[in-house]
Homo-oligomer: A and B are copies of this chain.
């Protein structure tokens, strides 16, 4: 039969999404295209121990239906950690566990937005969020990034020019894909604009625990006074991505709606994983575990930046992240990173073209994303050298070879 799909499906291009997640780099390719944490960040032995104990002592709780809000002890632990470490969580806020931060984004959009409503986001931004918004038939308006975060002038212009703006979606810390961190000054300005134009901010903060250098900027949520900042985070980058445990911390009115929407979406998040996360925080030292991940990423990021400085032509720009998992490389005016990424893949280096992260699909990007959390030191050295050679070739620059 001829299926009639919903309007919501119309704006979703399977190919664009799937390309990113399913890119199977050529045999023997060096992969800088991943969005994955390092497998070295998974506490395998600890999880094996906890898991064995749960099956011994609390198997029924781990395998039976549970409440939609999430495992109560884990919610307490998250709230305590958010409050102590990041000053996130006011008296009017509540927290629920979600099936990854992806679901937190999805539920927020579903709770707040009607078809045709506008979501403003950074340009470029996280493809998973952009597609979640597209899947509710929302209009996405991208606002250009600067070195210190989103352009505040352009943000105000977008707020002025668009009716029915419901949400400003931001990844203020170690942004995906750019690696940029928004300054405190801008965070305050953005919050003021949200107040002035009476819209909510969705602060997506999956990388905040991965700061390996520099001084932390306060979360926008910590500056929230009236509940307009909706905050989501995840255990994907600090314990396990495959276990799909994230959380949404927001005003209780929003959490009440999100909880009902979550219930009809997947009843509750896998309970064993919630217990694993909770018990890990209870029985082991999460901060010590995160320190190991940060040490690893600091070292890999430094190595990648060193190689970039050695091997890339000066006219190729790049960000210098203070945490997270990504470096953002920008070619000179007139170049298309999609063509370059394709060329790189022919030379067995996988990078993700910036076009993937554009709010306006079909536009050309001069930038591409490099991931430093998964490749080995050897691959970083070899891969960045090869990319440098290829850049010089493509840009027609001679000299300063390896």
Contact = CB atoms under 8 A, between A and B. Distances in A.
Interface of A: 1, 3-9, 12, 14, 17-18, 21-22, 35-37, 39, 42, 44-45, 47-48, 51-52, 55-56, 59-68, 98-100, 102-103, 106, 110-115, 128, 131-132, 134-135, 166, 198, 200, 226-228, 236, 240-244, 251, 253-254, 256-257, 259-261, 263-273
Contact of A269 (B21, B35, B244, B259): B244
Contacts of A236: 65
A56 B66 contact: no
Contacts of A241: 63-65
A55 B43 CA distance: 10
22 contacts: A1-B200, A1-B226, A4-B112, A6-B110, A8-B111, A9-B111, A12-B264, A14-B259, A17-B260, A39-B60, A42-B63, A64-B242, A100-B266, A102-B266, A103-B266, A115-B115, A128-B264, A128-B267, A244-B268, A265-B265, A269-B270, A272-B272
B60 A42 contact: yes
Contacts of A14: 256-257, 259-260
Contact of A263 (B131, B261, B272): B131
A242 B265 contact: no
A50 to B, nearest CB: 10
A263 B4 CA distance: 21
A129 B353 CA distance: 40
Nearest to A15: B260
Contact of A47 (B12, B63, B251, B270): B63
A357 to B, nearest CB: 15
Nearest to A137: B114
Contacts of A7: 114
Nearest to A134: B264
Contacts of A51: 48, 51-52, 55
Given A64-B242, A243-B63, A17 B263 contact: yes
A3 B114 contact: no
A260 B244 CA distance: 17
Given A48-B56, A100-B266, A266-B103, A254 B62 contact: no
